[in-house]
């Protein structure tokens, strides 16, 4: 397989420079793409109940008596993210009642419904809780927090993402990311996954790309391969600049090389083949040997597709669907070039025809 020429790489990388000049400015585009092809690695370019987000005053005093940590102590809470109630996010100091009541007292004679008949928060209650939680977090983070009474848990970010219903609200949340870093706190993989999930659900994956692509401003690591894959999938039908920019972040955030990850490699090859320019096709073809090696290492039986709506809705089966769909385009393009693809056709056929093992 021929390596990518420096001139061709430079022309191809210009696709990115116009949309993301800050990310690509401080490193040679040619060097980056040569690393992709020859070194099989992306180089850095430029650079079960939920817990509440705070403790009661009594619990806080007991904790303080045992530890000398500040209000920003980390936690290991892995609360569910989406499709769950958030009524336990606030105690009475915020004027909110437990979610199970379904109403909030506004006077001695009237109440306001906070939940719909199916148990979900009403839009008004959701907005109120979003604003209260955003205020709560904002007052307690940064180099000079307004108050240090009650800690902010890392899961507060997941709850904020869950409560947000618009791009504008997610943008509000991102404005607080730098202050989390100023508090000497770091984001966990679950935070990255929740943020990407919500950006995709609300139709703004570009917002997630903006945040992860400007670490000097936001301080938010793309430290989850699951989140990176999800974001790459969400960008498949956007301009190729987005996918190339995201791919360059793999090495920056020390994720497994794309050439060693079947899901990521198949999607990036798809993007490059689909773009169809001379430079993108050169990169796509250069990824094919890695793709072939990955298919040899991964048995198609272990990548069987989901059966039925419930199973296919699971994340693991969604990713297998991504592989199946992107490999279909890869195969079509290789055939059009006259390349032998028996190895790819057989793998795809085995993946399609594998059925789930019967349960005991």
- Spatial distance between the Cα atoms of 122 and 127, rounded to a whole number of angstroms: 9
Q: What is the pTM of this model?
A: 0.72
pLDDT of residue 335 exceeding 60: yes
Check: CB of residue 14 under 8 Å from CB of residue 32: no
Strand (E) or helix (H) holding 113? strand 111-113
Other beta carbons within 10 Å of 172: 16
Retrieve residue 112's tokens: 């306001």
* 143 and 182 Cβ atoms separated by less than 8 Å: yes
Model pLDDT for residues 172-197, shown as the tens digit of each residue: 999 999 999 999 999 999 999 999 99
Read off the tokens for 154.
């890392």
Q: Cα separation of 336 and 274, whole Å?
A: 13
Placement of tokens 């109940």 in the chain: 49
In sign, the C-alpha dihedral spanning 163, 165, 167, 168 is negative
Place of tokens 């990310």: 23
Report whether pLDDT(17) > 50. Answer: no
φ, ψ for residue 105, nearest 5 deg: -75, 125
Encoded tokens for 49? 């109940």
Q: What is the token pair recorded at 12? A: 């191809």
Q: 151 pLDDT band (50/70/90 cuts)?
A: confident
Q: Is residue 51 scored above 80 in pLDDT?
A: no
pLDDT band at 356 (very low <50, low <70, confident <90, very high): low
Q: What is the rounded distance in angstroms from the CA atom of residue 74 to the CA atom of residue 155?
A: 10
Inter-residue contact 202 to 171 (CB < 8 Å)? no
pLDDT over 90, % of the chain: 60
Mean of pLDDT values over 33-54 = 36
pLDDT at 112: 57
Give yes or no for residue 288 having a pLDDT over 70: yes
Task: Report the C-alpha gap between 239 and 67 in whole angstroms.
Answer: 51
Is pLDDT of 148 > 90? no
- For range 295-316, the mean pLDDT: 92
Place of tokens 């092809």: 37
Torsion of Cα atoms, 209 then 210 then 215 then 219, to 10°: -90
Tell the residue number behind the tokens 């420079």, with chain if given. Answer: 17
């Amino acid at each position: 397989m021929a390596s990518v020429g420096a001139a061709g790489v430079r022309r191809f990388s210009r696709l990115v420079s116009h949309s993301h000049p800050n990310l690509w400015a401080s490193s040679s585009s040619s060097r980056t793409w040569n690393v992709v092809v020859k070194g099989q690695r992306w180089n850095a370019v430029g650079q079960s109940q939920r817990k509440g987000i705070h403790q009661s005053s009594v619990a806080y005093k007991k904790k303080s008596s045992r530890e000398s940590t500040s209000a920003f102590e980390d936690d290991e809470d892995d609360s569910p993210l989406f499709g769950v109630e958030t009524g336990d996010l606030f105690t009475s100091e915020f004027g909110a009642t437990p979610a199970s009541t379904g109403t909030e007292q506004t006077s001695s004679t009237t109440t306001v419904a906070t939940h719909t008949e199916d148990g979900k928060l009403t839009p008004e209650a959701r907005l109120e809780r979003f604003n209260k939680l955003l205020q709560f977090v904002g007052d307690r983070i940064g180099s000079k927090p307004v108050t240090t009474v009650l800690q902010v848990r890392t899961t507060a970010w997941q709850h904020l993402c869950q409560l947000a219903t618009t791009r504008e609200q997610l943008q509000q949340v991102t404005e607080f990311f730098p202050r989390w870093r100023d508090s000497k706190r770091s984001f966990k993989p679950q935070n990255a996954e929740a943020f990407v999930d919500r950006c995709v659900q609300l139709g703004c994956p570009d917002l997630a790309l903006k945040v992860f692509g400007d670490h000097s401003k936001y301080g938010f690591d793309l430290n989850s391969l699951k989140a990176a894959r999800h974001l790459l999938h969400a960008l498949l039908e956007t301009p190729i600049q987005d996918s190339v920019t995201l791919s360059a972040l793999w090495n920056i955030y020390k994720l497994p090389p794309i050439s060693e990850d079947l899901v990521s490699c198949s999607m990036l090859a798809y993007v490059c083949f689909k773009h169809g320019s001379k430079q993108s096709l050169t990169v796509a073809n250069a990824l094919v040997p890695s793709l072939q090696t990955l298919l040899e290492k991964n048995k198609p039986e272990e990548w069987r597709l989901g059966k039925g709506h419930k199973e296919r809705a699971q994340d693991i089966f969604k990713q297998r669907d991504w592989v199946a769909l992107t490999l279909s385009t890869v195969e079509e393009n290789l055939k059009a070039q006259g390349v032998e693809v028996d190895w790819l056709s057989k793998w795809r056929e085995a993946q399609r025809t594998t059925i789930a093992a019967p349960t005991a």
